[in-house]
Homo-oligomer: A and B are copies of this chain.
Amino acid sequence: MGTRSTDRGVETRNRLIAVAAELFMRRGYSATSLNDIISAAGLTKGGFYFQFPSKAVLALAVLQTTRGHSQDQILATAGLHERAVDQIAAMVRAVAESKGTMPAMASLSRLCLELASEPEVAEELRPFEFWITLTGQLFDRAKADGDMDPAIASVAAARFAVNAFVGTDHLCDLASAPLDPAMVDDYLAFVFRAVGISADVPPRATNQSRPSDTETDKAAAKIGADAIEKETV
C-alpha cells in the first residue's frame, strides 16, 4: 500500500484495534457502538473515520491482528518441544493462556458470525482453518513418532479437536469463568484418547519457558515448516 502514516497514526490505529478487540469480546460486535469504541480509545468520530472507513472494517482488522499476533507467538512456544505430542499440548496451553490478552477462539467465532451479515467483509471468514490444518499436520507427525494410532484420520481428528476446544472456550465464556489450566488438561486428556494418542498428557511446565526472540523464529520455523498459507484472514 502506498499509504504513508506517522508513528502517531499507527499508534492510534493500534489502540483502536486493541480497544475494539476488548469491547467486541466482552459485549459483541453489534452491541458495541462506535461511540463506545472511540471514547474508550480517547478519540472522536472524525479521528476514527480517518483511520477506518467503517466499523466493519475495524472488526476485520481486529480479526487479522488477533490472528497474526497470537498465532506467531503460540507457534513459537510450541516449537520449543521435540515430539509432536508435546507440541500439541504446548500449543493448546498457549492458546488458552493467551485468552486474557487477546480475543480467544470463542470470541473470534462469535465475531465472525456477527460479521457474516455485514456486506463489506463478506469474504471468507474462517479463522479456524489454520488451526485445523496445523493440528492435522501435528497428528501426522505424532503418528510418525509412534505416539498416535495411524488408523485414525488426521484431518477428521484435527477438526474434532478444534471443535471441542472452541466449544470448551465458549461454555467458559457463558459461565463467565476463565479457561483454567485444569480444564485445559482435562480437554487434552480427552482429546488424546479420542484421537488414539497413547502417550500421557505431558505435565505443564511450572517454569514457563519464555523463548527468547532469536530462538522464537527458529521454533516457529520448525513447527510451521510445511508451508501453511497464513493469509486467509
Contacts and interface: CB of A to CB of B under 8 A. Distances in A.
Contacts of A169: 167
A168 interface: yes
Interface in A115-132: 116-117, 125-126, 128
**Copies of this chain, whole number:** 2
Range of interface residues on chain A? Answer: 35 or more
Given A157-B190, A190-B157, A171 B109 contact: yes
Contacts of A170: 109, 163, 166-167, 170
B171 A114 contact: no
Given A174-B109, A174-B125, A194-B190, A160 B166 contact: no
Contact of A190 (B116, B160, B176): B160
A191 B194 contact: yes
Contact of A30 (B31, B109, B157, B168): B31
A92 to B, nearest CB: 13
Nearest to A175: B126
9 closest Cβ pairs, A-B complex: A167-B167, A194-B194, A164-B164, A163-B167, A166-B167, A163-B168, A190-B194, A160-B190, A30-B31
